[in-house]
Amino acid sequence: MPKFLTQPDARTCQSTCIAMALDQTADDIYDVRSALEAMGEPGDPAVMGEYLSARLGDRYNFEIAASINDMIGWLKKGEFLITHGWFTDSGHVIGLKGVEPDQKTLGIRFKVYDPWSEFNFTDWAYDNDSIGFQGAYSAKGIYAAAIVGDSKHDSEMVYSQTGLDINRAGAWIHRIRKN
């Protein structure tokens, strides 16, 4: 499993998640960022995909419309996933490293590497008192932020008003398989 890294500034979530996926160190995050910038917009999934594909070959796939059910299956196979979500106004990138039972909802939660901080889904905001977060996010939170919502505000509304459809597709997922 990739080692956890925290992002050094507010612009490097995608570079940090890529560095995690490639088993790099915090010293490599700005090198990844520079390479992404040379290729285009660092947060563009296609740019991230081009970078990852060049380094991982057939151990990498990009899925343009994944569901919660798809993500669960890949994680159970031991894959590390990077997803894009509307956690912030401009979007944010996090890593998914596994699933675990959610005792509150009798469903599942995603084990995450969030390089920024812990996200509070009830307030739809980050806890700015912490640096980085290794823990679990609800499937409904990932569903609202990465699959259904098309903005931060929309994702917040989905989370507060909508149920969870584990088969609805829509998440951008970078899949990284073990060696």
Element spanning 82, H or E:
strand 80-85
Q: Output b/e per residue, 6-26; b: 16+ Cβ within 10 A.
A: bbeeeebbbbbbbbbbbebee
Domains in the chain (CATH in brackets) are 13-176 (3.90.70)
Which pLDDT score is estimated for 179? 76
Give the pTM.
Answer: 0.95
- Please give the Cα distance from 170 to 63 (Å, whole number): 9
Which pLDDT score is estimated for 22? 97
Which pLDDT score is estimated for 75? 97
Which pLDDT score is estimated for 45? 96
Q: 81 near 17, Cβ under 8 Å? A: no
Strands laid side by side in the 107-114 sheet: 60-66, 171-176, 80-85, 92-102, 107-114, 133-138
Which pLDDT score is estimated for 105? 74
Which pLDDT score is estimated for 40? 97
pLDDT digits (tens, 9 = 90+) for 58-84: 999 999 999 999 999 999 999 999 999
Q: What is the DSSP string of 29-72?
A: HHHHHHHHHHHS-TT-HHHHHHHHHHHHGGGEEEEEEE-HHHHH
Which pLDDT score is estimated for 73? 97
Q: Crossing angle, helix 13-21 and helix 29-39, to 10 degrees?
A: 110
Instruction: Tell me which residues of the chain have a pLDDT lower than 70.
Output: 106
